[in-house]
Amino acid sequence: MSIFIDRDTKVCVQGITGKEGSYWTKHMMELGTNVVCGITPGKEGQEVEGLPVYNSVKNAVAKHEIDASMLFVPPKFTMDAVMEALDAGIKKIVTIADGIPLHEMVLIRQAAKEHNAIIVGGNTSGVISPKLAMMGSFPHWIDRVYKKGNIGVMTRSGSLTNEVTAMIVKAGYGVSTLIGIGGDPVPGTRFAEFLNMYENDPETKAVVIIGELGGIMEEEVAEEIAKGAFTKPLVAFLGGRTAPKGQKMGHAGAIVTGGKGSVEDKIRALNGVGALVAERPRLVGTYLEQLGVPKE
């Protein structure tokens, strides 16, 4: 069992006729994702990978049952595309765009809550359940990284995801569902808001979070564990451990404020509730073993 997406999830692709949209739609379908159609304004009647293209999400849902929408849309058009999908009744949306205006992401997150929907992204590679389905731009054919298994992964980082997940696989584990939260200050959905899905997934035996300095998402995870809302083993790897104190960092999400947000703050919070924080990516798999997580 995977969370967020599986082979029964009916997916449309907004921006399917673009270079990125068409390329990754092909790979999503190769993995097993049930992509049913695409949307690009002005391109209705065309086909991409044998899929019909519509001018609008409204036109698409009139013809197809759609559960989720994958957005390959430039940042300046992302809010309109998300709102269009929400208005059409779609409850799961992934957007990979990097550089969505901050105030627009605040509005997107608010609208998702009002529609009881889940937004993944922006500034993310998306969501993948190896060997089942994906929404996004993962090189799923790299078996040393995207091996099916029982470890849930959530990540704020694009560059660290492959490295840390490869260490999980090297230790003899695999991935149930990997979710790229995104590295921007306001993600559509935060780490802690996905914990309940992993908690209720019988296939997921433990969770690994790939975090970094800045923000308080990792501290929020510790708070949920402290409240008993998440009870499975958890291991974290945090980027920015060696960042100089007091130095302004360039990453959009790397903002440290008022006693929260530094790597030290996050380590203290997570260790305080029994989670383990790996100093090196290679230790993530070792810590899963120490916590007694079974291998399949």
Q: Indicate which residue of 27, 103, 115, 251 is catalytic.
A: 251
Tokens of 90: 């779609």
Q: Is 181 helix (H, G, I), strand (E, B) or coil?
A: coil
Strand order in the sheet with 276-278: 133-136, 126-129, 175-180, 148-155, 206-212, 234-239, 276-278
Known catalytic membership, residue 64: no
Name the nearest CA neighbour of 180 among 231, 114, 135: 135
Alpha-carbon torsion angle 161, 22, 79, 257, nearest 10:
10
Amino acid at 33: T
Which amino acid appears at position 279 of this protein?
A: E
Name 176's Cβ contacts closer than 8 Å, sequence gap at least 6: 1, 2, 3, 129, 148, 149, 150, 151, 152, 198, 201, 203, 204
Element (DSSP H or E) covering residue 212:
strand 206-212
Left if phi > 0, otherwise alpha if psi is -120 to 50, otherwise beta: which for 234?
beta
What is the rounded CA–CA span in Å between residue 210 and residue 202?
Answer: 22
- Is 156 in contact with 132 (CB distance < 8 Å)? no
Q: 130: closest CA among 212, 218, 204?
A: 204
User: Any idea which residues carry the catalytic annotation?
Assistant: 251
